[in-house]
Amino acid sequence: MVEGIIGKKIGMTQVFDEEGNVIPVTVIKAGPCTVIQKKTKEKDGYEALQLGLVEEKPKKHPNKPETGHFKKSGSPVLKILREVKYQGPIEIKEGDQILVDIFEPGEKVHITGISKGKGFQGVVRRHGFAGGDAAHGSMFHRAPGSIGASSFPSRVIKGMRMGGRMGGDTVTIRHLKIVQIDKENNLLLVKGAIPGANGGVVFIRKGSFKAKIS
């Protein structure tokens, strides 16, 4: 059984349950995904499916190796590929499509995406430092303070919390509940927020599946 699918975050909205309670949900366009390659233990050393997200516009100007790789599945060259492991024997071959119907309402899923990039940030925003007094003449407002001793060890210790690039990390939110599924439009409505900006690529996998994604 295939345990995951590629999708794109559309945005957030809200729905109402049978009792009239408001449920904040994230709308994800999950799939359709084409099986580009089926990997086996005999040939590759492990079992997995390479999925490609089908989009309105295929990749422009693919090179010859890419064209040859996609030729066997009969799919145009796709821009977004992911590998997903599967459980048990499955009758899936290259060229088959994986749709959102592999999930059910009420099911728990893990969603992985790239968090929003914040650029270079100081220690106050990046690490939550309190900063100094805001009084006139303090000369110490949002500075990090001491970052190490001078005589020993005469260097900045590795891992010191300092200013730097913030965001743009791979983040996984676990055990999110599926509220609704729109099979006609390949939409998945998940309770709560997920990482990334609108239009960002996410990977959705079943909450009971413990294998890592590639």
Strand partners, 91: none
> What pLDDT, on a 0 to 100 scale, did the predictor assign at position 88?
66
Task: Report the number of secondary-structure helices (H) and strands (E) in the chain.
Answer: 3, 12
DSSP 16-74: E-TT--EEEEEEEEE--EEEEEEE-HHHHSS-EEEEEE--SS--SS--HHHHHHHHTTT
Contact 17, 191 (CB under 8 A): no
Q: What is the pLDDT of residues 47-59, one digit of tens each?
A: 888 898 888 887 8
Class of domain 4-117+167-206: mainly beta
Q: What is the mean pLDDT of residues 69-89?
A: 82
Q: What does the pLDDT read at residue 4?
A: 87
pLDDT of residue 18: 85
User: Domains of the chain: which residue ranges?
Assistant: 4-117+167-206, 125-163
Structure tokens at 186: 């390949």
User: What is the sign of the dihedral through the CA atoms of 171, 175, 177 and 178?
Assistant: positive
Q: Which two tokens stand for residue 199?
A: 């239009």
Pairing state of beta strands 48-53 and 33-39? antiparallel
Q: For 112-137, what is each residue's pLDDT tens digit?
A: 999 999 999 999 999 999 989 989 99
Q: State phi, psi for 41 to the nearest 5 degrees.
A: -65, -35
Is the pTM higher than 0.85? The answer reads: no
Burial (0-12, 13-18, 19+ Cβ within 10 Å), 22? exposed
Judged against a pLDDT cut of 90, whether residue 172 lies above it is answered with yes
DSSP string, 60-113: SS--HHHHHHHHTTTPPPPS-EEEE-B-S-----TT-EE-GGGS-TT-EEEEEE
